[in-house]
C-alpha cells in the first residue's frame, strides 16, 4: 500500500492529521511481519521515532482498529505528544463516527454505558457489562441517521471514552452489531451475505492545538462504500 494513498488532512510542525484506510493496522500487534501505519510514518517522518513513550507506537496518542477507517492525529514532536495525550486522557477531545448496524433501533437516540472488560470466552474480544460489574467505564452515544429495508440503520456515534473495541462491543451488547464485524457478529443476523467491510468510520475529530491552543476540527468524509451499501 503506497504512502501516496493516504490523505493528509492537515499538517504543521507539531501535528499530522490523516485519514487511515481500512485494512491497515496502526502499529504492530500479533503479526510481527505486518506492514503498519507506523512503518509509513517513520519512512516519511524519521524523527517521529523519538516521539512518545513506546517505540512501537511513536507519535501515537490514539488508534483505530485495523478494519476501521477515518481521521487520526499524530504528534510530530514530544511537546505536541504530551499536550495531545493529556487531552485524550482528560476526555477533552471530541470523536464522532459513522456506523451501519444490523436491525432497527427502537429509539432514535440513546446512550450506552456498559463497562468494558476483556472477554473470558474469546481472545482479542471485549465484553460489555452492566455498570455495576467490573470493567472500565465507557460511554457511547448514538443517533439514527437513516434506515434501510427495516434491516439496517446508519448511526452517528460519539464517544466520551476510548476503550478498546468500545463502539463494536457496545453496539453488539444492545443486539445491533456493526455490519461486517466478524468478531462481534450475532447469530440472529447471520446470513450468507458477504459484506465489503466493517462499517465503522472515524468521521470527525476535534482537539485543541497542543502549541497555541486553538480549537481544531477535522473531518474524513464517509467512504463511498457506505453510500453504495445503503442505496443498493
List active site positions: 65
What is the C-alpha separation between 225 and 90, in angstroms, rounded?
34
Can you read off the three cell numbers belonging to residue 73? 492525529
40's CB contacts (< 8 A; 6+ apart) are 1, 3, 6
Gap between the Cα atoms of 158 and 170, Å rounded: 12
Answer left, alpha or beta for residue 165, where phi above 0 means left and psi between -120 and 50 means alpha: left
- Between the alpha carbon of residue 194 and those of residues 154, 197, 216, the distances in Å are 18, 9, 38
Distance CA 115, CA 63 (A): 20
Amino acid at each position: 500500500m503506497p504512502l501516496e494513498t493516504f490523505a493528509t488532512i492537515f499538517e504543521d510542525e507539531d501535528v499530522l492529521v490523516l485519514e487511515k484506510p481500512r485494512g491497515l493496522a496502526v502499529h504492530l500487534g500479533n503479526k510481527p511481519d505486518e506492514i503498519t501505519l507506523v512503518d509509513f510514518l517513520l519512512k516519511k517522518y524519521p524523527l517521529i521515532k523519538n516521539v512518545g513513550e513506546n517505540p512501537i507506537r511513536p507519535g501515537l496518542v490514539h488508534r483505530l482498529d485495523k478494519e476501521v477507517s477515518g481521521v487520526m492525529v499524530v504528534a510530530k514532536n514530544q511537546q505536541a505528544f504530551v499536550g495531545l495525550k493529556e487531552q485524550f486522557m482528560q476526555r477533552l477531545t471530541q470523536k464522532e463516527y459513522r456506523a451501519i448496524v444490523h436491525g432497527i433501533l427502537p429509539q432514535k437516540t440513546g446512550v450506552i454505558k456498559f463497562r468494558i472488560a476483556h472477554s473470558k470466552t474469546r481472545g482479542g474480544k471485549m465484553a460489555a457489562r452492566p455498570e455495576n460489574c467490573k470493567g472500565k467505564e465507557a460511554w457511547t452515544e448514538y443517533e439514527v441517521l437513516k434506515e434501510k429495508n427495516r434491516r439496517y440503520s446508519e448511526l452517528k456515534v460519539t464517544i466520551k471514552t476510548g476503550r478498546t473495541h468500545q463502539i463494536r462491543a457496545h453496539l453488539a451488547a444492545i443486539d445491533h452489531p456493526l455490519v461486517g464485524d466478524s468478531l462481534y457478529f450475532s447469530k440472529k443476523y447471520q446470513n450468507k451475505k458477504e459484506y465489503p467491510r466493517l462499517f465503522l468510520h472515524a468521521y470527525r475529530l476535534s482537539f485543541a492545538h497542543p502549541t497555541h491552543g486553538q480549537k481544531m476540527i477535522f473531518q474524513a468524509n464517509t467512504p463511498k462504500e457506505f453510500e453504495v451499501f445503503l442505496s443498493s
